[in-house]
A and B are shown apart, each in its own frame.
Chain A
């Protein structure tokens, strides 16, 4: 009897482990594989996008970095970085102040504000994009780039707000109280105690905001004009057209930059701990 039960248990355990292992591996391959395949294709020697490529070359990167032939892509990339940096600076500052104000606040007003600040995450971005387009047109706000920055701040700021709030909620209030009871002013307590502790959270949130801004399609699409093309929109146009292989090279640059930034952020602020 005991022997039979034991064998049953082993079968149960091993069938679970093997099936879970296989399915998990398969799912991981499906999740990460496409990104690696794009990276491989960007080094193709062919003039069409086939996988696997027939040979290795840097010809599409050369075409991409050619200042004359790819000037439109370069301009779009510069716009994207500029907008991303502005949105990150403004969004991080606003979110930091708001998170400091609302951390541990329990009132109805505070909870409502807290909910409001993360609402853009749940709203279909396209609806907000139409709203922003109508709004900016009706108030006569013509400048495309500042409008895109504002739009990006709205849709991306919940990421940094949530990250900073999470690090504030882990801050031990006893530290603040002892600092105050030892006679430190509130500004001094903030600078010497709170800020150093939540700094990694601020860094991680700012990073996530920048990454979300550089990938934004909906808001950029509605608010950009002919002169302010953004990189994801430009790439989309290249995909809809004649499948320009330079798309693979742009993607390759983006993927490599993302990997490098991600590993750096993991090293300095443990980004993997802050996603939850």
Chain B
């Protein structure tokens, strides 16, 4: 009996090293970041709000922030179009095919983002695969400029972020009770009706998780944004990088970082809320 009382406490001590590590190297730096953002000068001597007021009063900054969040939304939408067919294929597949599909999802996931970005430089160039495909299908008459455009960036990010959308979606599909689908069909609902009324609603929690991951990752996808987007399209991560490492304006870089975290958290909160109310609708 005595062992039962002391055991949980003794075991809890094992979390101490990780707590200490996170406290020192995760929580402390983030608190410092917030603190630094409330200074007016690059030397961090005069406290004040000028970084935030400066950021918010400049239309250029708003455009960069808006462009970044919008990029995330567009990438999420495009990724959805690719992710659902694969997830539904996974749902219909037997155990062996499911394993093959999971391995196929792993290949791009474990391949460096830089490598995948590099692939899209080749694919999107004037003589690249995408252009020759568009030409041979007669969709365009002459090669179109895709590199250094937002469209090219969205196409590339759609593939680069796809595994992040698929993992939570596929895990929901794996747990989906096959009897529910069978019941829907036995009751006379066709395949399309079953998809819209049963499978899609049940997959929403996984989809919401995927949306969060893709949104957070594509708004922060620095390498793709700078290499494929080119110099004319500026997004928040590059903006932070310029301020921190080439201009050494830490308070401003810190303020932009805090604003980026807040903006992403706000969107994440919204998505979570939507996901929860959608789940409520299914069961209630």
Instruction: Among A31, A239, A271, A276, point to the contact of B121 (Cβ < 8 A).
Output: A239
Chain A residue contacts of B268, Cβ below 8 A: 122
B107 pairs with A262, CB closer than 8 A: yes
Interface residues of A in 1-38 (CB under 8 A from B): 8-9, 12-13, 15-17, 20-21, 23-24, 26-28, 30-32, 34-35, 37-38
Chain A residue contacts of B129, Cβ below 8 A: 37, 51
- Contact flag A254-B18 (CB < 8 Å), given A126-B257, A126-B260, A272-B103: no
Decide yes or no whether B8 CB sits under 8 A from chain A.
Answer: yes
Chain B residue contacts of A121, Cβ below 8 A: 213
Decide yes or no whether B282 CB sits under 8 A from chain A.
Answer: no
A259 pairs with B30, CB closer than 8 A: no
Chain A residue contacts of B60, Cβ below 8 A: none
Interface residues of B in 81-114 (CB under 8 A from A): 82-83, 85-86, 88-89, 92, 99, 101-108, 110-114
A127 pairs with B257, CB closer than 8 A: yes
Mark interface residues in A33-66 (1 if CB within 8 Å of B CB, else 0). Answer: 0110110010000000111000000000000000
B260 pairs with A41, CB closer than 8 A: no
- Contact flag A30-B82 (CB < 8 Å), given A124-B261, A236-B223, A259-B107: yes
A217 pairs with B113, CB closer than 8 A: yes
A contact residues, total (Cβ < 8 Å): 88
Decide yes or no whether B145 CB sits under 8 A from chain A.
Answer: no
B257 pairs with A35, CB closer than 8 A: no
Chain A residue contacts of B17, Cβ below 8 A: 93-94, 97-98
B108 pairs with A35, CB closer than 8 A: yes
B14 pairs with A101, CB closer than 8 A: yes
B22 pairs with A275, CB closer than 8 A: no
B113 pairs with A215, CB closer than 8 A: yes
Chain B residue contacts of A21, Cβ below 8 A: 89
Chain B residue contacts of A201, Cβ below 8 A: none
B contact residues, total (Cβ < 8 Å): 91
Chain A residue contacts of B245, Cβ below 8 A: 133, 222
Decide yes or no whether B134 CB sits under 8 A from chain A.
Answer: no
A15 to B82, CA, bound (A): 18
Decide yes or no whether A264 CB sits under 8 A from chain B.
Answer: no
A258 pairs with B195, CB closer than 8 A: no
- Contact flag A50-B25 (CB < 8 Å), given A35-B107, A262-B107: no
Chain B residue contacts of A28, Cβ below 8 A: 86, 89, 101, 104
B115 pairs with A130, CB closer than 8 A: no
- Contact flag A101-B22 (CB < 8 Å), given A9-B190, A13-B191: no
User: Could you write out 6 A-B pairs with CB less than 8 Å apart?
Assistant: A16-B190, A34-B116, A41-B122, A116-B27, A119-B26, A251-B112
Identify the B interface with A (CB < 8 A): 7-8, 11-19, 21-22, 25-30, 32-33, 36, 82-83, 85-86, 88-89, 92, 99, 101-108, 110-123, 127-129, 158-159, 162-163, 167, 170-171, 174, 190-192, 195, 212-213, 216, 219-220, 222-223, 226-227, 236-237, 240-241, 244-245, 250, 253-254, 257-258, 260-261, 264, 268
Identify the A interface with B (CB < 8 A): 8-9, 12-13, 15-17, 20-21, 23-24, 26-28, 30-32, 34-35, 37-38, 41, 49-51, 93-95, 97-98, 100-102, 105, 110, 113, 116-117, 119-128, 130-135, 138, 150-151, 153-154, 157, 161, 186, 211, 214-215, 217-218, 221-222, 232, 235-236, 239-240, 243, 247-248, 251, 254-255, 258-259, 262, 266, 271-272, 275-276
Given contacts A15-B192, A21-B89, A161-B18, 5 further A-B contacts (CB under 8 A): A27-B162, A128-B29, A154-B21, A211-B110, A272-B106
